[in-house]
Amino acid sequence: METFKMRIGAEWREAALGEWIATENPYTGEKWARIPRGGEADAIAAVEAAHAAGQGEWRSLTATQRGRLMYKFAQLIREKGQRLADLEVTDVGRRRKEALGVVDHLAGYYEYYAGLADKLEGAVTPFDKPGFLHYTVHEPMGVVVCIVPWNGPLLLASMKIAPALAAGCTVVVKPSEYASASIIHLAELAEEAGFPPGVFNVVTGYGNEIGNTLTAHPLVRKVAFTGGHVGGRAVAQSAAHGFKHLTLELGGKSPNIVFDDADLDAALEGVSMAIFNTSGQACLAGSRLLVQRSIADEFVARLADLMRDAKLGDPTDLATDIGPIAMRPQFNTVLEHLAAAKKDGAKAVLGGGRGLPAGGENGLFVEPTIFMNVTNDMRIAREEVFGPVLVAIPFDTDDEAVAIANDSSFGLAAGLWTSSLQRALDIPRRLEAGTVWVNTYRTVSVMAPFGGFKDSGIGRENGQDAIKDYVETKSIVIRP
């Protein structure tokens, strides 16, 4: 069993109380590693280390020097990314093919924000009193707590860490109790890159045990959270109480709309990738297929045919199409959703149960599933399943498609497939979603702001503006 430790200041530490959390490989069912079960004392120590670093050497670096360190970090991620990828494969069952792509993407995050570090310009502005000089400067907020879920630990953490470091903040990263290993290794690479101790801390443990200590700590100035609505609400309450800056990236139930004028071959590929990649464990998964009635039966039948031969199995095998669900509680949740949907009258035209691939009988597999006979008011169409489960709902007109798409408490993403320029221009403006893809899906980029409408969150990550979410703007007025 591998042992991972927390990174607090200059030290690699076990939990102060000496307790551990065992983590399970979702493919083999083996307990493969242990991580410290951090407690209150560890959380406080991490925040204090981050604060001290922010007041020390880190503060004295120029923005260009910070950027250089980040470039070096990115280079190390590229050179040594194999281990990062392997850790995500073992820890959360991410397919190796995907994990290798993530590493490249990850390095790109640090490069992008490294380039922005010394481009945070203030302004000298006119002032409505004669002779006064007014200008603005941007200063790092201070300690940022980055809270990360289990489904994409490295990338979701880096969406926060990269702009925070570029802005001159220090971070305390709290990975999911189910997926800490890869982030701990990222902290090892940060140490190797030469970030001063305390700039990049990782504290592990259960969210309900240490989360509040982190988010309520008076030295913390910002909380950047990605996760579910229960944790999100707790974090928002705690942050509100302490008047802290907050970014929330929450769940989704994203519509993927196929019009009858679409390139149907492309739409088939896009719709299947939108939901079945990462076994549906993505906040942006296209989990509601809205398909124009004239083509609905044929389209769903072709989609089911396409997925029928999908190879479930070993995530380390590059030929695997569908990996396991990342952890046991989520596996049980997905199976509960499948049972409830059938009870509510949904009809599985593909899958609908546990997957048992040869050699992977101990793994947490769910068959790729497509439900028909679904209306948008059914639980399976309203709640986030976070598994390889698609509901297909027919529609007749554009207005009806938009109405069904928007009839959701979520608003993270949406897709549409059409050859009509008019629709490509018109429909995205009418959809309540932070990202709308036309004739593509899941094409995320560090350069494109990402976040949700409605219950899908508050604020945006990615893009140039994200760095501004980690600075305070100060107005300086000088009377000569």
- List the catalytic residues: 249
Q: Which amino acid is at 319?
A: A
Q: Which stretch binds ligand NAD (CB under 6 A): 37-45, 246-254, 435-443, 469-477?
A: 246-254
Q: Which stretch binds ligand NAD (CB under 6 A): 108-116, 208-216, 290-298, 415-423?
A: 208-216
Residues that bind ligand NAD (rule: CB under 6 A) add up to a total of: 32
Tokens of 451: 């976040």
Tokens of 291: 């398909």
Tokens of 16: 């102060």
Q: Which stretch binds ligand NAD (CB under 6 A): 74-82, 127-135, 210-218, 357-365?
A: 210-218
Tokens of 100: 């290798």
| Complex with ligand NAD: residue 365 or 386, whichever CB lies closer | 386
Quick note: the x/- pattern for ligand NAD over 406-435, rule CB under 6 A, is ------x-----------------------
| Complex with ligand NAD: residue 122 or 228, whichever CB lies closer | 228
Q: How far apart are CA 263 and CA 322, in angstroms?
A: 25
Q: How far apart are CA 132 and CA 148, in angstroms?
A: 46
Interaction residues for ligand NAD, span 11-50 (CB under 6 A) = none
Q: Which of 65, 208, 419, 475 binds ligand NAD (CB under 6 A)?
A: 208
Task: Report if residue 387 touches ligand NAD, rule: CB under 6 A.
Answer: no
Task: Report if residue 92 touches ligand NAD, rule: CB under 6 A.
Answer: no
Q: Which of 72, 94, 96, 174 binds ligand NAD (CB under 6 A)?
A: 174
Tokens of 457: 């969150």
Q: Which of 56, 228, 357, 428 binds ligand NAD (CB under 6 A)?
A: 228
Percent of the chain that is helix, strand, coil (3-state, to 5): 40, 25, 35
Q: Are 252 and 285 contacting, i.e. CB atoms less than 8 angstroms apart?
A: yes
Task: Report if residue 326 touches ligand NAD, rule: CB under 6 A.
Answer: no
Q: Which of 163, 251, 315, 459 binds ligand NAD (CB under 6 A)?
A: 251
Instruction: Tell the smallest beta-carbon distance from residue 292 to ligand NAD (Å).
Output: 28
Q: Are 222 and 165 contacting, i.e. CB atoms less than 8 angstroms apart?
A: no
| Complex with ligand NAD: residue 176 or 292, whichever CB lies closer | 176
Instruction: Tell the smallest beta-carbon distance from residue 26 to ligand NAD (Å).
Output: 14
Q: Is 413 left (phi over 0), alpha (psi -120 to 50) or beta?
A: beta
Q: Are 394 and 291 contacting, i.e. CB atoms less than 8 angstroms apart?
A: yes
Reduce the DSSP state of residue 246 to 3 states and report it.
Answer: strand
DSSP category for residue 317: S
Q: Which H or E run contains 124?
A: strand 124-125
Reduce the DSSP state of residue 237 to 3 states and report it.
Answer: helix
| Complex with ligand NAD: residue 200 or 386, whichever CB lies closer | 386
Q: Are 253 and 387 contacting, i.e. CB atoms less than 8 angstroms apart?
A: no
Q: Which H or E run contains 161?
A: helix 153-167
Task: Report if residue 357 touches ligand NAD, rule: CB under 6 A.
Answer: no
Interaction residues for ligand NAD, span 113-172 (CB under 6 A) = 147-152, 156
DSSP category for residue 35: E
Task: Report if residue 286 touches ligand NAD, rule: CB under 6 A.
Answer: no
| Complex with ligand NAD: residue 217 or 423, whichever CB lies closer | 217
Instruction: Tell the smallest beta-carbon distance from residue 268 to ligand NAD (Å).
Output: 25
| Complex with ligand NAD: residue 204 or 376, whichever CB lies closer | 204
Task: Report if residue 215 touches ligand NAD, rule: CB under 6 A.
Answer: yes
Q: Which stretch binds ligand NAD (CB under 6 A): 54-62, 79-87, 243-251, 342-350?
A: 243-251
Residue 275 CA neighbour count, 13 Å, CB half: 30
The span from the first CA to the last CA of the chain, in angstroms, equals 67
CA separation (Å) from 395 to 198, 254, 258, 259, 408?
54, 16, 10, 9, 16
CB atoms near residue 439 (< 10 Å) = 15
Q: Which of 42, 48, 249, 321 binds ligand NAD (CB under 6 A)?
A: 249
Task: Report if residue 207 touches ligand NAD, rule: CB under 6 A.
Answer: yes
Q: Give Rg (Cα) of the chain.
A: 23
Task: Report if residue 231 touches ligand NAD, rule: CB under 6 A.
Answer: yes
Of 105, 212, 207, which Cα lies nearest the Cα of 152? Answer: 105
Q: Which stretch binds ligand NAD (CB under 6 A): 10-18, 189-197, 245-253, 421-429?
A: 245-253
| Complex with ligand NAD: residue 228 or 357, whichever CB lies closer | 228
Q: Which of 168, 227, 255, 270 binds ligand NAD (CB under 6 A)?
A: 227
User: How long is the chain?
Assistant: 480
- The angle at the Cα of 171, spanning 170 to 173, to the nearest 5 degrees, equals 170
Q: Which residues bind ligand NAD (CB under 6 A)?
A: 147-152, 156, 174-177, 207-208, 211-212, 215, 226-228, 231, 234-235, 249-252, 283, 384, 386, 412, 452, 457
